[in-house]
Structure 1
Amino acid sequence: MDEIFVFAALIALFCVVVVPVIAIMALKRSARNETELHRLRNRIETLEARLATASAPPGAETVPMATPAAEPAPVFVAPEPEPVPETAAAREPEPVPQPPADAPPVWSQAVRNAAKAPAPAAATRREEPAPEPRHAAASGGMLTSLTRWFMQGNPLAKIGVILLFLGISFLLRYSVERDMLPLELRVAGAGVAALVLLAFGWRLRHKTPVYALILQGGAVGALYITIFGAFRLWQMLPMPLAFGLMLVICAASVALAVLQRALSLAMLASLGGYLAPLLLSSGGGSHIALFSFYLLLSVGIAAVSVWQHWRELNLLGLLFTFGVAGLWGINGYQPDEWLSCQLFLIANILLFGVVCVALSLRAQGRKKIVDGVMLFAPPLVGFGMQYAITRHWMYGPAFSALGFGLVYLLLARAALRRYPQEGRILALGGLALGGAFVTLAIPLALSARWTALAWALEGLGLLWFGMQQAQRRMSYSGSALLALAAASAVYAWIDGITLLNAAFISAVLALCWLAGGWLWREPQRQVSRAHLGAGIAFWLVALLQAARWAFADISQGLALTLALLTLSALLWRAASRKAAWPDLAYAVWLLWPGMALMLACHIVIDGALVLAGWHSLVWCLALPCALWLLRRDAGALPVRLQQGLHLSLFWMLLIAAGAETWWFTDSLPWGSEAWQTGIILVVSAAIVLLVNGAIRRSLWPCAQWPALYSGPGLLPVAPVLAFLLLAGNLMSGATVDWPYLPLINPLELGAGFALLAALSGWRLLTRFWSPLLQQAQPWTPLVWYALLFWWGNGLVLRTLAWAGEIPWQFDALWASRLVQTTFALLWMLLALLVMVSATRKGARQGWFCGAGLLGVVIVKLMLVDSAGGGGLARAVAFIGVAVLVLIVGYFSPLPPKAARPVNARQGEAE
């Protein structure tokens, strides 16, 4: 029980340190309230004097009166007194009726009574105890409500009573420890002092009502202390007598609080009663006595709540009852005390539930509100305690949650049947609690995988029912339950379950999420799309888990996954048309990333689709399905998305063809480099030529987006062709067991196809991408000519090496006079042809290119051919080049510059 003493010390510290600060703030607020009250009284006296002296006019007179409990409104006073509706205030015998607890005072009737009554009556009216302020709204926190109550009325008197209460408690303890007075005398003296204080407070109820109520509350608390101490600490009273006396005190405090409408009396009396066992306990008391005492106090609070709507009092009882019970349960609960704790827990939950029902039904007529704290706090906190006392039993928490849920579902049904209009909000709260507890019973009783299934089906049912009843909140609750089911499924996967169970759970969740998305498709399309995305995700997970369960081999599992994904895409397409759900139709395009992922896995794992085995035939199903979907349904998509689908599928085909070609060429024997290069060149060139032919013959799909296929579509092929033409030209062209034949060998044939494909691709670009090519002029055409020149030189060099039996080595080829002379004459002839053609066309740029090549030949003659000494070859080279230069000078002079238009100003200047 040391924790109880620590709790009491904290309360004492609060009273000594915090309370003075609050008192200073209260003094300022009290001064403002007194000034406002004095102003209102003067105004009322002025109005009373006017009514007493003025003669009543024939018609009705409007007198605007300010009311403190409502907004200022005009009050109509007729010459003849009108009947006032019968209320609790009208039935009071006092000359000035008290306002009802839930409505503002009727000032018109009060003014008429004051006008007819003498002046002493008015003075008597002002001495009547002011009713405690009522707070009809159930909003605000528990601490805010208690602070608001403490700051009202006379805070100093409340502080004094609390300090006096603590001081008397400590004095009694001190006297007990030192045996200063006889025990009977101490107890009797405390009781007599409490009764005297109570009588004195009752006597002052008319003169100083607020102060009198504080004294009465302190006296009631002192009586609680005295009786509890006499029973528990000193065993002077038997249990029946002690509880009987406490019952009398509860009844008396209820009567006093209700008669005087005094929240402060009820708060102080209850506070003293709750603190009594904490301050006077020696640490060895029985929990049954403590909880029985608290149960009696809660009964008293419930009785008060029947007549008065005091939310602060209910929150005080709730705080002490469950707070003290929780502290005791953490430190002192034993399993053999289950029965007594269970009974007290049930009693308190039902008690505060009844209080909540009573207050909620009383509040429905005003603002249709339900106290959320009183509705949700007892079951939620109570179930936490219920879990603590039943967790050592198998399925104990599960059956407890099920019981809580059934109780609140029955409460909701009873409230709705008994009060169809007033109890609607309360029934919704009970339905929410009942459904939550029934839902909570599932994971407490079952494993994570069965919990996921149960929650998914329950969430779907709740979502469907909410849609049928047009209850948006219920539908959102169903969606939230689906999210919890997904979380439970993920936990089950992490915890470890079989692949078949995982696939089954994922399939059920996928169907539930998809059904939820279909239900949300009309009211909230964004929510529907979120459900659709979750459903498709679980569907894909189910496919992967089913494939892993069916095949242990990764490659086979991937093939089965792709086959199932293809069939799923066809199923989604059919379901979207049948269910009139266009958003589901977008899911069919998930076949594209699925195919790309499977292709990448096949290439990484197997190296090629052919090496994957018989199950690579799944592409015979996936590829036609993708082409069919692309032709039938892609037209409804945005243009960018259509182009992306076409381009991605074409690139996947290119990657697959490249992987298969590389696998085939890599498996060739040693010494087949020319065959490898030639085959790759032929395949790459064939792709370009096929695209060109499909566009020229208007074949789908190339004819639908010709610019896309001719430009970005063939973009991956261009660097492959360029690299192979540059690197392959360095090869000798010889193969093992195959003689080299000029022009008729795999290397030259592949290069010829590649150059033809490059020319075909160039024509496609000039047809569909001419604006882009014009920006790259004139260098773009030179690329093709440069490749042609490069490969032509290689062809000549390989032919000379074969004919002259020159080793394919750099030093040998460089030192060969045959090679040097042939290239000098060949380049000179080529320069002549270029320059003559440029002269006829008037192309100065082409002429300069030929001239540049001619210059290279001349420099080569001076530096390379002359460096090797004399000989017939050098002479032939010089003579041949000189003759060609003369011919060029005669037939191909430099073309003149193109004439430029001259404007008028330039002409005048000249």
Structure 2
Amino acid sequence: MARHCQPCWGGALYIVLAWLLRQRTSEAGRWLVQSYAAIGLLLVTVAVPLALEQQITAAVWALEGAAVYWLSRQQGLKWGCVLGVVLQAVAGVLMMDALDSRYYAMLYAPEPVARLPFVNADFLSCLFMAVGAGAISWWSRHDPWPRSAGANLAAWLQHLSGVVSVVLFVVGFTWALQGLWAQLQPSVWQAFAHSAVLLAWRVLGFMALVAAAQWAAQRYDWRGARLAAYAMFPVVAWHVLVAVWELHWGWAELALWSVIAVVYLAVLQRADRRGPVLYWRVVHTANVVLGFLLLGRSLVSLADWAQLWQSDWSAVAGTFSAIVVLLLLSRAAWWTGTPQRWPLNRFRPDYLLHAGAGVALLVGICTLVTACLVRGKVAPLPYVPLLNPVDLTVLLGVAAIALWRLRIAQAPWVAAASVWTWRSSWLAIAALGFVVLNTIWLRVAHHYFGVRWQVDALADSFVVQAGYSVLWTVLALLAMLWARRVGQRLLWQAGAGLLAVTVLKMLLVDMANSGGGERIVAFIAVGALMVAIGYFAPMPAARKAAATDDPVTP
């Protein structure tokens, strides 16, 4: 060991001599100082791998590479700068090999090795690697070469320095993130090995690094530091998916993800001012999905904490969270006028139309699935028709979609002839509402008439079929009354068509079922409603064509 350290002591001696002679101002004195410094760095570089292990050697070489680059930059030595960058690359290869061997040994160790967080070789070596790469990126962010070297050569060197600055910032940022995430592992914090706390802390640490990089990019015009913001969305989105689907949440997770959301939006507000605009439009549109996932996971956690996991409270959590997001996107003030605040002042169509369409489709699918599959087990509360979480959620889902579609029709900035204003969307909403109302009756029959919650049992039940007949007739009556009031013949004809289907169903299905009392009640109710339709809701008169010519006065 002592024999291997002899070059290191010699290098230290030359570095001390260079420091003592640094005050000499003559040309020979400056060259002597630079020569001593170069010899000292060379001897230290050779001695390090002989005396130290591979991981520490890589960290020292990264710092030496930064020192060589700085010294060569001061002297205008291009090849010295190249040597400093090459040392960074060699140090990176050594560090990756050392970390791979170390983590492999830790993974297959019989017992986890206890380590102090942030005070261990893994963190410090990654920190030194990040400092070395980041220092060169900082020094090369602007043109360091004098114009006297020639216009073409200076332009080429400036471009090359910019590329080196960007690449080494990415390398330094990656090493810093590696060192940070290595300290937030279950092997270090064994008390949190089976929760989402460490995952949230890793994301928060990443966001802190991104925020620092974004600040440096704006404060010092550091082009490479701007790239961190572009990696923000994919990293956060991936960890949100992992946290939502795989891990258990508690109060600590909710608090950490709330802080992450605040930092994320703060960085995004400053980063999306630069191009490419299409990328940021996609990010802002997808942010709505992230918000829905976090809100839905929070509601599921609340149901879990309240020990309602075996009931249908948890079944409607995801649907309800999507409805809340869609209602938020349907806020009237955001659709009218010109928004002045971020992000709607730059990305209003992406939020309200593009993201809104995706959320509306999701609400429709979730509402349909919830209405058809969830029986309405809402213990400890009793089932009350229309006043239970399942019925309220599916009705609110239909109302939210209708409200969002109404906002499109009212928005002055949406073209009247665009795909967003197609009237066929109202037919889909009406069909969804019809299915929802029918499934509400199925839950009533299940809870109050003892019909089993199975497809064959519900289809064979005369109570269910009689209720369908009465419900469809009531819906036809309401549609025809409204059509009569607003003068819509098409809506009236739709109600009449539903009434015809009801009569046909009663003749083919209800008449074939047994159960005289129920059948008589259903026929009497439907007949009375049809009489009311004929009296209160006759077909509205056809609209007369407006006159195109003004009357001629004699």
Deviations 1:162-181 (A, max 9, x none): xxxxxxxxxxxxxxxxxxxx
Q: Is the alpha carbon distance of 1:627 and 1:686 closer, same or farther for their aligned partners in structure 2, counting shifts above 3 Å?
A: same
Q: Is the alpha carbon distance of 1:793 and 1:577 closer, same or farther for their aligned partners in structure 2, counting shifts above 3 Å?
A: closer
Give 1:783 shift. 1.3
Deviations 1:521-546 (A, max 9, x none): 23231222111111111111121223
1:503 and 1:709 mapped to 2: Cα distance? 41
Q: Is the alpha carbon distance of 1:829 and 1:438 closer, same or farther for their aligned partners in structure 2, counting shifts above 3 Å?
A: closer
- SS of corresponding position for 2:313: helix
2:529 and 2:296 mapped to 1: Cα distance? 50
Q: Is the alpha carbon distance of 1:699 and 1:741 closer, same or farther for their aligned partners in structure 2, counting shifts above 3 Å?
A: farther
Moved more, 814-823 or 464-473: 814-823
Q: Is the alpha carbon distance of 1:470 and 1:670 closer, same or farther for their aligned partners in structure 2, counting shifts above 3 Å?
A: closer
Q: Is the alpha carbon distance of 1:800 and 1:603 closer, same or farther for their aligned partners in structure 2, counting shifts above 3 Å?
A: closer
- SS of corresponding position for 2:273: helix
2:366 and 2:204 mapped to 1: Cα distance? 37
Contact 1:513 1:531 in 2 (8 A): yes
Is 1:850 matched with 2:470? no
The aligned counterpart of 1:719 is: 362
The aligned counterpart of 1:626 is: 264
The aligned counterpart of 1:691 is: 329
Supply the AA of the counterpart residue of 1:724: T
The aligned counterpart of 1:762 is: 405
Q: Is the alpha carbon distance of 1:707 and 1:868 closer, same or farther for their aligned partners in structure 2, counting shifts above 3 Å?
A: same
- SS of corresponding position for 1:547: coil
Task: Select the residue among 216, 222, 231 that pairs with 1:581.
Answer: 222
Is 1:512 matched with 2:132? yes
* Structure 1 residue ranges without an equivalent (≥5): 1-392, 407-419, 421-430, 902-910
1:495 and 1:516 mapped to 2: Cα distance? 28
In the superposition, the TM-score normalised over structure 1's length comes to 0.45
Give 1:562 shift. 3.5
2:537 and 2:247 mapped to 1: Cα distance? 65
Supply the AA of the counterpart residue of 1:542: G
Give 1:780 shift. 1.4
Alignment of 1:463-502 (within 5 A): 463-496=69-102, 500-502=120-122
1:514 and 1:772 mapped to 2: Cα distance? 53
The aligned counterpart of 1:258 is: none
The percentage of aligned residue pairs carrying the same residue is 25
The aligned counterpart of 1:79 is: none
Q: Is the alpha carbon distance of 1:682 and 1:439 closer, same or farther for their aligned partners in structure 2, counting shifts above 3 Å?
A: closer
Supply the AA of the counterpart residue of 1:782: L
Moved more, 528-537 or 668-677: 668-677
Give 1:740 shift. 3.0
Supply the AA of the counterpart residue of 1:606: L
Supply the AA of the counterpart residue of 2:390: L
Q: Is the alpha carbon distance of 1:824 and 1:577 closer, same or farther for their aligned partners in structure 2, counting shifts above 3 Å?
A: closer
Task: Select the residue among 650, 654, 666 that pairs with 2:292.
Answer: 654
The aligned counterpart of 1:606 is: 247
Q: Is the alpha carbon distance of 1:740 and 1:781 closer, same or farther for their aligned partners in structure 2, counting shifts above 3 Å?
A: same
1:672 and 1:550 mapped to 2: Cα distance? 35
For the pair shown, which has the larger CA radius of gyration, 1 or 2?
Answer: 1
Give 1:571 shift. 3.0
Q: Is the alpha carbon distance of 1:505 and 1:789 closer, same or farther for their aligned partners in structure 2, counting shifts above 3 Å?
A: same
Contact 1:516 1:531 in 2 (8 A): yes
The aligned counterpart of 1:320 is: none
2:189 and 2:239 mapped to 1: Cα distance? 15
Supply the AA of the counterpart residue of 1:630: L
Deviations 1:216-272 (A, max 9, x none): xxxxxxxxxxxxxxxxxxxxxxxxxxxxxxxxxxxxxxxxxxxxxxxxxxxxxxxxx
- SS of corresponding position for 1:513: helix
Supply the AA of the counterpart residue of 2:170: G
The aligned counterpart of 2:236 is: 595
Is 1:571 matched with 2:212? yes
Alignment of 1:372-383 (within 5 A): none
Task: Select the residue among 741, 747, 752 that pairs with 2:395.
Answer: 752
Contact 1:671 1:735 in 2 (8 A): no
Give 1:716 shift. 4.6
Give 1:492 shift. 2.6
Supply the AA of the counterpart residue of 2:406: R
The aligned counterpart of 2:20 is: none
Supply the AA of the counterpart residue of 1:483: A
- SS of corresponding position for 2:382: coil
Task: Select the residue among 522, 525, 533 that pairs with 2:162.
Answer: 525
The aligned counterpart of 1:710 is: 352
Supply the AA of the counterpart residue of 2:210: A
2:469 and 2:100 mapped to 1: Cα distance? 76
Is 1:462 matched with 2:68? yes
Supply the AA of the counterpart residue of 2:325: I
The aligned counterpart of 1:787 is: 432
1:593 and 1:707 mapped to 2: Cα distance? 22
Larger relative contact order, structure 1 or 2 (CA cutoff 8 Å, min sep 6): 2
Give 1:508 shift. 1.2
1:616 and 1:887 mapped to 2: Cα distance? 58
Q: Is the alpha carbon distance of 1:865 and 1:778 closer, same or farther for their aligned partners in structure 2, counting shifts above 3 Å?
A: same
2:80 and 2:57 mapped to 1: Cα distance? 20
Q: Is the alpha carbon distance of 1:769 and 1:674 closer, same or farther for their aligned partners in structure 2, counting shifts above 3 Å?
A: farther
2:362 and 2:230 mapped to 1: Cα distance? 30
Give 1:882 shift. 9.8
Deviations 1:184-205 (A, max 9, x none): xxxxxxxxxxxxxxxxxxxxxx
Alignment of 1:554-569 (within 5 A): 554=193, 555-569=196-210
Contact 2:66 2:136 in 1 (8 A): yes
Is 1:884 matched with 2:535? no
1:570 and 1:563 mapped to 2: Cα distance? 10
The aligned counterpart of 1:74 is: none
The aligned counterpart of 1:232 is: none
- SS of corresponding position for 1:635: coil
Alignment of 1:125-524 (within 5 A): 439-440=45-46, 442-496=48-102, 500-521=120-141, 522=143, 523=158, 524=161
Deviations 1:871-909 (A, max 9, x none): 57656766755983893999328969999x9xxxxxxxx
Give 1:786 shift. 0.9
2:266 and 2:97 mapped to 1: Cα distance? 40
Alignment of 1:748-897 (within 5 A): 748-766=391-409, 767=411, 774=419, 777-799=422-444, 819-831=464-476, 834=479, 846=491, 849-868=494-513, 880-881=526-527, 884=530, 887=534, 891-892=538-539
Contact 2:54 2:98 in 1 (8 A): yes
2:342 and 2:387 mapped to 1: Cα distance? 35
Alignment of 1:889-908 (within 5 A): 891-892=538-539
Task: Select the residue among 534, 540, 544 that pairs with 2:177.
Answer: 540
1:648 and 1:687 mapped to 2: Cα distance? 13
Contact 1:562 1:618 in 2 (8 A): no
2:429 and 2:175 mapped to 1: Cα distance? 52
2:369 and 2:200 mapped to 1: Cα distance? 39
Deviations 1:765-804 (A, max 9, x none): 4447667863783431111111111122233454466666
Deviations 1:619-673 (A, max 9, x none): 3433222222233443244422433443444432321222222233356657964
Q: Is the alpha carbon distance of 1:771 and 1:493 closer, same or farther for their aligned partners in structure 2, counting shifts above 3 Å?
A: farther
